[in-house]
């Protein structure tokens, strides 16, 4: 009797059954498949640790286990370092092949290399695949053969790259005989960390959300994507954990067609761009890409930083956004730009502190995207623009992107009865107006902790001193 081939599919942040190239290839190549997730404490307790995101991840794993069981398989859980767990499991079950989706951080690449070398030493084939992004982000190069550092030419190049075919879930899976899949450790529910979680963990919820987005709201994306109170796709946390495939989201948007779909596909390309950048420039996770700004002097005012984290700056849009983050684990992209500019250019606090706070709080935080966005808004990263073009005025941003005050009133209820014309600068209300609105500045809502006009000039001086005029 012919011996059945066994494969391991080592999942990391591709927690789905649909359009998972590693899972599909393993199911096609081998008769039995171990779908493995390794609980690595280095990630749960390391530099980018996050209790809300860990709770979301465990929720996704529970949901995935049900999906796999419905196919005849199940999710195998092990704890430890992957180089020990994967190799040990491969030896125990005489595995022929191990599949996974490649990642881009230095930590991930070194880990994967150790696993590859260990598997090769025991005669097991390691088969990584580029399943986390729309295209293979290791391939794009400029005409001179260099990695891209500006988004628009990257986007033009990536659009012309071939795409893999979107695949469905395997029809069936079979586990090796004698495999003890183990159990997920007890972990707090997401609701214990977030009052209003922005989304539900798992592939089923993700696919339902993608269906809703593609079936209509995407058509208005061009007109409404910067409006703070309007609906965006809300897919970012599911994309981060791979509950849906970026490639499938891209394909479905392209099939829908229209300006909104094209704008959405372009936003997916930003995710690919920052992954490409981190893959090519791994030091970005520690230092500014632009060396001329590595000498920027940062302030270290704990009181100001705490006010920013808590949404108590006295600037309604900044405060609303930071409170949305703490309550939901998510923040509108326009708001991310505003609060990032405020931290780095109004409070003059190191962008790395903002990056770490977002890593702690965001369900969708992934190192490449979060780092890229923070370096972008701090004017120290790739895709450069003169720093004075990214000095966001929180008052004007609120007036432009929350003109009726719906967003601010939703997240800063102290301001619910403030007239719209005064909502972006409530400190300018007269005493009588404050009383009538039920919002006395300094008692019910803080006065501005800094003066934007003055701090803007300070920021210009600091950037000019460190790196010149642009």
| pLDDT tens column, 422-469 | 999 999 999 999 999 999 999 999 999 999 999 999 999 999 998 765
Judge if 148 and 76 occupy the same domain: no
Final residue of a structural domain among 83, 112, 132: 132
Using pLDDT thresholds of 50, 70 and 90, give the confidence band for residue 1.
Answer: low
- Cα–Cα dist 33/74, whole Å: 9
In a domain, 189, yes or no: no
Judge if 301 and 388 occupy the same domain: yes
C-alpha to C-alpha distances, 393 to 138, 297, 400, 452, nearest whole angstrom: 37, 21, 11, 7
Final residue of a structural domain among 247, 280, 313: 280
Q: Tokens for 64, please give them.
A: 């995935």
pLDDT of residue 228: 96
Q: What is the CATH number of the domain that holds 398?
A: 1.10.579.10
In a domain, 458, yes or no: yes
- DSSP string covering 68-96: HHHTT--EEEEES-HHHHHHHHHHHTT-S
In a domain, 151, yes or no: yes
68-86 as b/e: b if 16+ CB within 10 A: beebebbbbbbeeebbebb
In the chain, what percentage of residues exceed pLDDT 70? Answer: 99
| pLDDT tens column, 273-298 | 999 999 999 999 999 999 999 989 99
In a domain, 179, yes or no: no
Average pLDDT over residues 386-406: 93
pTM exceeds 0.85 = yes
| pLDDT at residue 126 greater than cutoff 80 | yes
Question: How many domains, the chain?
Answer: 3
Judge if 138 and 128 occupy the same domain: no
In a domain, 182, yes or no: no
Judge if 326 and 457 occupy the same domain: yes
| pLDDT at residue 146 greater than cutoff 90 | yes
Judge if 381 and 272 occupy the same domain: no
Judge if 308 and 457 occupy the same domain: yes
- The domain of 249 spans 134-163+203-280
Comparing 90-104, 174-188, 203-217, 337-351, the range with the smallest average pLDDT is 174-188
Q: Tokens for 94, please give them.
A: 């005489």
| pLDDT tens column, 41-58 | 988 888 889 999 999 999
Judge if 266 and 370 occupy the same domain: no
Using pLDDT thresholds of 50, 70 and 90, give the confidence band for residue 217.
Answer: very high
Q: What is the CATH number of the domain that holds 147?
A: 1.25.40.80
């Amino acid at each position: 009797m012919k011996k059945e081939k066994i494969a391991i599919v080592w999942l990391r942040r591709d927690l789905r059954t649909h359009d998972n190239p590693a899972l599909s290839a393993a199911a096609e190549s081998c008769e039995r498949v171990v779908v493995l997730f390794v609980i690595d404490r280095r990630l749960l307790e390391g530099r980018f640790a996050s209790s809300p995101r860990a709770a979301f991840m465990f929720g996704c794993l529970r949901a995935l286990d049900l999906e796999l069981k419905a196919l005849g398989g199940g999710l195998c859980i092990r704890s430890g370092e992957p180089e020990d767990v994967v190799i040990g499991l491969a030896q125990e079950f005489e595995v022929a092949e191990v599949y996974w989706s490649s990642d881009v951080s230095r930590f991930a690449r070194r880990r994967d290399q150790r696993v590859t070398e260990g598997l090769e030493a025991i005669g097991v084939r390691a088969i990584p695949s580029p399943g986390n992004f729309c295209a293979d982000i290791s391939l794009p190069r400029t005409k001179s053969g260099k990695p891209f550092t500006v988004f628009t030419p990257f986007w033009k190049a990536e659009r012309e790259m071939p795409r893999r075919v979107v695949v469905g879930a395997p029809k069936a899976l079979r586990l090796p005989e004698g495999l003890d899949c183990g159990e997920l450790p007890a972990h707090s529910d997401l609701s214990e960390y977030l009052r209003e979680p922005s989304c539900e963990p798992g592939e089923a919820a993700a696919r339902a959300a993608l269906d809703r987005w593609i079936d209509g709201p995407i058509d208005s994306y061009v007109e409404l994507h910067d409006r703070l109170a309007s609906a965006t796709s809300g897919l970012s946390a599911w994309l981060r954990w791979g509950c849906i495939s970026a490639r499938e989201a891209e394909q479905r948007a392209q099939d829908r067609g229209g300006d909104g779909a094209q704008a959405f596909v372009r936003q997916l390309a930003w995710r690919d761009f920052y992954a490409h950048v981190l893959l090519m420039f791994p030091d970005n996770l520690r230092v500014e890409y632009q060396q001329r700004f590595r000498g920027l002097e940062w302030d270290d005012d704990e009181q100001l930083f705490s006010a920013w984290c808590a949404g108590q700056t006295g600037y309604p849009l900044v405060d609303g956004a930071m409170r949305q983050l703490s309550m939901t684990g998510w923040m509108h992209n326009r708001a991310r730009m505003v609060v990032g500019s405020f931290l780095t250019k109004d409070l003059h606090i190191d962008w790395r502190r903002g990056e770490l706070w977002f890593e702690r709080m965001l369900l969708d935080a992934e190192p490449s995207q979060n780092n890229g966005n923070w370096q972008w808004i701090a004017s120290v990263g790739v895709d450069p623009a003169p720093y004075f073009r990214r000095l966001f005025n929180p008052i004007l941003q609120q007036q432009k992107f929350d003109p009726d005050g719906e967003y601010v009133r939703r997240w800063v209820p102290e301001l619910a009865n403030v007239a719209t014309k005064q909502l972006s600068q409530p400190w300018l209300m007269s005493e009588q107006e404050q009383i009538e609105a039920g919002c006395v500045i300094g008692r019910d809502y803080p006065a501005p902790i800094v003066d934007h006009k003055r701090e803007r000039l300070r920021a210009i001086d600091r950037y000019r001193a460190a790196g010149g005029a642009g």
